[in-house]
Structure 1
Amino acid sequence: MFEGQVIAFTSTMLPLITIFIFIYGVALRSLRWFMIWKVSPVLGGLKSYRGSKLKGIFNSFVLDHLPSYSLAAKRDMAFYIIGVGMHIIFITLLLTKAHIDTILALLKQYIAIPIILYIPKPFTHILSIIFISCLTLMFIRRLYQYATNKALKVISSIGDFIAVPLLLIVGVTGFAAALSSQLFSDYRLYIIAFHLVVVQVFIMYTPFSKFFHGITSIIVMMLSGLKKAALGGD
């Protein structure tokens, strides 16, 4: 009975709270960007473009992230590969059947996702292990750099050590939830409920963290491409 109430809360009431806080955070970020844009002369003061806008945007979205152009790749190729792989796998894991079915349960009257997009098992288990491993390595590297780099200590904040562990917990609990029916059947509902709570806490925290770059990067890369075109550097 109690387990059912917990699951009901995490899948009905908590999503509404999550959506409200997420939208509130996005609105605050958007207002901040708008105020910066209003006082920034960089793009507004450039009346004519010497280069191709489309080419500039293409370079920002594609070429700048290739190993031969990426600053991160030039600094550390191994962790460039780990970072890119982690981002790709994270997006891929969102297409697992459990995630899509959960989303459809909330939005089924509005959208439909073809079953062809489902990522099948045991492929999801392999991806989960790789994702958790990559994220762990990146966090350990961050801790090492923080301990040995004085400049990094100055620019770091508490948020740098909240977002990644929180995402790591999301990955671990998600993997445990996927295995729960076979290995932890007695605790399956608790594991799923905990995973749902952690995921929604992560979503609520995202607009206030550096992880919001997943959304802001699209805007930044587009503006960067326009700036390159304006400066003739496309």
Structure 2
Amino acid sequence: MLMLCIFQPSPHMSAGFGVLIMMIAQMHFGDSSRSLDVFSSVALLMCLYAIMQESWRMAYLDELTGLPARRALREKFQKMGGLYTVAMLDVDHFKKFNDNFGHDTGDAVLRMIASKMSEVSGGGSAYRYGGEEFSIVFTGKYASDARPHLEELRKSIASSPFVINRVSRRKDDERTMPRKSKSVTVTISIGIADSSGEISSPWDVLKLSDKALYRAKKLGRNRVIV
């Protein structure tokens, strides 16, 4: 099990190793029950580890973006205290991406945003909250301290051209025509709040950051509002 903790193989790899160990043990030891029992136990542990790892991944990681999901954020909130900042992010005009270019393009936009968020500076932890909404938590920071890192994230996303490849077809022809590429700009709006006031829980801080996000959208989007 120590080896599993160090190397952290994928669930499929762990299960595969377990089956392989069982086969090798059976071929090598035959009817030697004691040795076979040891290898069988190791194989069983590896299979159980694979099941537990996959269950954790399904429960705590967002399948589309690979970011920790809302359940992971909920557990984070249960352990938080003292000073922290919570940011709520929303993709501007996200519905237009789905309506104009299809849901596959919308999914690609979300994956791009998540990739940028996973590299946020300042020690922020990124989560997918749901739909086109995301959250970033900064522990030990005031909103004013976290804001420059969020501005950097916003500018990075806005300055990164997003290329959409579209397949066109003639109305009277079912053959696929060459792909047409189009570069568009993706922007995000961000609302932030911290726990420095008289706030009872991280969820209250999140509500304040959500209100700040709403103000950011009302003021024209593509901005960070405290």
Same fold (TM over 0.5): no
- From the two aligned structures, give the one with the greater helix fraction: 1
Higher relative contact order (CA 8 A, sep 6+): 1
TM-score, structure 2 length as denominator?
Answer: 0.23
- From the two aligned structures, give the one with the greater strand fraction: 2
TM-score, structure 1 length as denominator?
Answer: 0.23
